[in-house]
Amino acid sequence: LFRSVPVIGYGTDEFPAFFTRESGERVDQRLDTPEEVAAAIRLHDLLGSGTGIMLANPIPAGASLDRGEIDHIIADAVVEADRRGITRKALTPFLLARINELSKGRSLAANIALVRNNAAVAAQVAVACCEAG
């Protein structure tokens, strides 16, 4: 049995990047409402795949950073981490902190907006799943 995890774009045809709404990579399917997502979850479960789905929810438009600018900032932070020999479990905290510094706090604000949006969408999908039975 082949098992795969479908990648669903919530209101988007493109997989969102962390700080921006776009990445250049397409999703398997686009769904636009919590009810559509709930139906997809139910169908996926009924098909017996034994896997979940990935719901790719983009950052709110007003919180999205400029893709070119943030890509440059991330690249600079990665080079700095490499130069300083920062690896493994220390790498992610270093990168997040350095990206926040280089973006003058905008990356942290974007991340907070994304977390809040993810929580809101998750709650809406959970309600739709419960209402669908």
Which residue ranges make up each domain of the chain?
1-64+114-133, 66-102
The tens digit of pLDDT for each residue in 6-43 reads 999 999 999 999 999 999 999 999 999 999 999 999 99
- State mean pLDDT over 40-67: 95
Range list of H helices, 52-105: 67-84, 91-102
Q: How far apart are alpha carbons 123 and 126 in whole angstroms?
A: 5
The predicted pLDDT at position 133 comes to: 81
Six-digit token string for 65: 């950073």
> Quick one: which H or E segment has residue 7?
strand 7-10
Q: How far apart are alpha carbons 41 and 68 in whole angstroms?
A: 34
Matching residue, tokens 């169908």: 43
Contact call for residues 56 and 5 (beta carbons, < 8 A): no
- State mean pLDDT over 77-97: 98
Q: What is the pTM of this model?
A: 0.88
The predicted pLDDT at position 2 comes to: 57
Matching residue, tokens 């003058």: 104
Q: How far apart are alpha carbons 14 and 125 in whole angstroms?
A: 20
